Amino acid sequence: MSTVLLLVITGLGLGALYFLVASGLSLIYGLMGVLNFAHGAFLTIAAFLGWEVGRRVSDGTWWGLLLSALVGMIVGAIVAAATEYFLIRRLYERHIEQALVTVGLSLASVALFEGIWGTDPIYTAKPDWLTQTTEILGAKIPNDRFLLIACAALVLGGIVLFLRRTRYGLIIRAGVENRSMVTALGIDVRRSFTLVFAIGGAAAGLGGVLASVYYGYVSAHLGSVLLIFAFIVTVIGGLGSLTGAAIASVLVAVLQQFANFYLGGTGDLVVVIALAAVLLVRPRGLMGKVA
């Protein structure tokens, strides 16, 4: 029983990390129809710069981690907004060009990060509590999983509240439904779409800093690895569905943990099989809209 509980809770922690990355992907695609393959670059640069600032101020402390998370979110938001403004804005409704530009940006960013920080992983320090465990019904749960789960829940709640309760949230949703009408009312929809990218980038930035806590290191390929699972989660949950991404994140991560433990480390293979099964049985995903 303790083993099952351990796998479930650690799976929830990993799912929380997947969601932080996938939430931006899902939000951007759901509201703007853009598949952003450069999303992992937002995560990686946020992780590196967050680590750089945190270690110089107070390495391995809560204050340093908080500052790293704040810097990561700001950097992720700025880079994402700049990407939308200078590159994506001219390519709306041109999906092939969007894919080519964002894939190119992703590849170029990895080379840039390797040139600045090197090709080897850089191991990071974290607060003592996060290196310890908490016993729940006999299962010793790593404390960093609780931090990941709490942050993912806050991000999900914050995005939902923003879209449903704020003026900009209403403008964004209205612009997606009928951009011409909103523009005719004198509202600059383009500014709202840039804000969507910034929110997605901020979530990715936070995910990058927390990924360095989860894995214990930062590297130039950190975003690329997580982006693969973020896309899997987004497709399984349903392209554009934030709720679907949250549910799929948990399902994928828990399935991955159980397969790694009981099926000899085949978690990644089982996840890919699950993706194929969803595409065959329900192509739009668990909560995707019917085209």
Which H or E element spans position 123?
strand 122-123
**What pLDDT score does 131 carry?**
92
| Count of residues in the chain | 291
Helix (H, G, I), strand (E, B) or coil at 282: coil
**What pLDDT score does 157 carry?**
93
Q: Cite the DSSP H helix spans in the chain.
A: 2-32, 39-58, 62-86, 95-117, 128-131, 143-165, 167-177, 179-184, 189-215, 222-237, 242-262, 267-281
Q: What CATH number has the domain bearing residue 189?
A: 1.10.3470
Q: Residue 87 in contact with residue 109, Cβ under 8 Å?
A: no
Q: Which residue from 220, 228, 229 is spatially nearest to 44, judged by alpha carbons?
A: 220
Cβ partners under 8 Å of residue 89, min gap 6: 190, 193, 194
241-253 per-residue burial string, b: 16 or more CB within 10 A, e: under 16: bbebbbbbbbbbb
**What pLDDT score does 291 carry?**
52
Give domain status of residue 12, yes or no: yes
118-148 pLDDT, tens digit per residue, is: 999 999 999 999 999 999 988 899 999 999 9
pTM comes to 0.93
In the block, which residue shows the tokens 């979530």? 203
Ramachandran angles phi, psi of 164, nearest 5°? -100, -25
∠ CA 144-148-151, nearest 5°, is: 135
Distance of CA 11 to the CA centre of its chain: 16
Q: How is residue 4 written in tokens?
A: 């099952």
State the residue range of the domain holding 144: 2-281
**What pLDDT score does 177 carry?**
62
**What pLDDT score does 176 carry?**
60
Give domain status of residue 41, yes or no: yes
For the chain, the domain total comes to 1
Give domain status of residue 130, yes or no: yes
**What pLDDT score does 179 carry?**
63
Q: Please, which residues bridge with residue 74 across strands?
A: none
Give domain status of residue 288, yes or no: no
Give domain status of residue 290, yes or no: no
Which H or E element spans position 142?
strand 139-142
Give domain status of residue 289, yes or no: no
Q: Is the dihedral of CA 183, 92, 197, 35 positive or negative?
A: positive
Give domain status of residue 46, yes or no: yes
User: Which ranges of the chain have pLDDT less than 50?
Assistant: none
Report CA-CA distances (Å) from 147 to 71, 78, 150, 210. Answer: 18, 25, 5, 9
Report CA-CA distances (Å) from 286 to 35, 247, 276. Answer: 19, 9, 13
**What pLDDT score does 165 carry?**
86
